Structure 1
């Protein structure tokens, strides 16, 4: 998974508050899949998979990068942000992860017709860095369900939790830890979904 840092251009025209005029520019980071190369499966199912935008609480439904100094406190890195909101960024990673496999007729954020064959529904519990006695680490936790669209039955459900240590709470150390954790998380969810849909993919 590569990380792209994009320049952030702030327009200060019309700002009337001192806070807006003195706000520091933030680097913009984007998590990308490590590999987009096509993968062949044992059989082609022609399945259509819809990856819905993950749900989460308001403190994570943002493009800010969260860090927790304590269990009940949420702060954001002052000098960095994601290129998309956390739910949209994870949705993109999952769409690209599943779309690599030729077992599917379509993988996307919405069905081609009235409905797809399966919908991946998820909720983000953690997508943040935290400070503990063991040192800073990144924690990602997602609850996922695979639902058959035809009868709205849950075909599979699971909980995924990944942690990765970081050398410090500096942006330069935290972003690579997010990258490693997100790579592991999306790989786990993709492998689980492929098995649950009986694709024969590995």
Structure 2
């Protein structure tokens, strides 16, 4: 019995000392986009029954990281920081929120719900990153949008939307703020484009 007690005591001491030398996990900060500005006037609905798809992504955007491209083309990620979800899901959720809040649209759904719809908004998020330039780092957002008539399975129209914003500092929060601002411009132009679409 004594031998067993000593063995347990030694084992516990080794385990405790091992735990004390393990490095503590580095905390991760999670970020999301600010809501897009939308039309709040009591406008008659111009487009309804829209299904929003997750965008296709540039290879550099496949993860949840906040990406920075250096002047020599290297792709880096801001340390200890991530988006709150994958970039494709983040962008889709952001667009869904904007369409729901804009008085010019109604009956909005996501592709994952599998509901019938007259229209589908699809596209490719070509740029959603920070890029180093000779004038300093800038946030670049580019979304190549397609409006698809689902019953005819036909692209009715397509358009590329892009915006850039300089960073006000070198912190991760500065990058997120600039990306939110550039996204807001893209979102505003996209909603105006959708509002003029044929029904």
Q: CA RMSD in A?
A: 2.4
User: Does structure 1 conserve the Cα–Cα contact (< 8 Å) formed by 2:37 and 2:184?
Assistant: no
| Structure with the largest fraction of helix | 2
Per-residue CA deviations over 1:154-173 (Å, capped at 9, x if unaligned) read 12110011100012332132
1:90 and 2:91 aligned: yes
Partner of 2:180: 179
Instruction: Give the match's secondary structure for 2:45.
Output: coil
Superposed displacement of residue 174, structure 1 = 1.4
User: Does structure 1 conserve the Cα–Cα contact (< 8 Å) formed by 2:100 and 2:108?
Assistant: yes
Superposed displacement of residue 148, structure 1 = 0.6
CA separation of 1:105 and 1:177: change in aligned 2, threshold 3 A: closer
Structure exhibiting the larger radius of gyration computed from Cα positions: 2
Instruction: Give the match's secondary structure for 1:196.
Output: coil
Q: How high is the TM-score relative to the length of structure 1?
A: 0.78
The CA distance in 1 between the partners of 2:160 and 2:100, in whole Å, is 22
Q: How high is the TM-score relative to the length of structure 2?
A: 0.79
Partner of 1:75: 76
Partner of 2:167: 166
Superposed displacement of residue 182, structure 1 = 1.4
User: Does structure 1 conserve the Cα–Cα contact (< 8 Å) formed by 2:50 and 2:109?
Assistant: yes
User: Does structure 2 conserve the Cα–Cα contact (< 8 Å) formed by 1:49 and 1:111?
Assistant: no
Q: Which moved more, 1:139-148 or 1:108-117?
A: 108-117
The CA distance in 2 between the partners of 1:158 and 1:34, in whole Å, is 19
Alignment of 1:39-118 (within 5 A): 39-41=41-43, 43-44=44-45, 47-70=48-71, 72-110=73-111, 115-118=116-119
1:119 and 2:120 aligned: yes
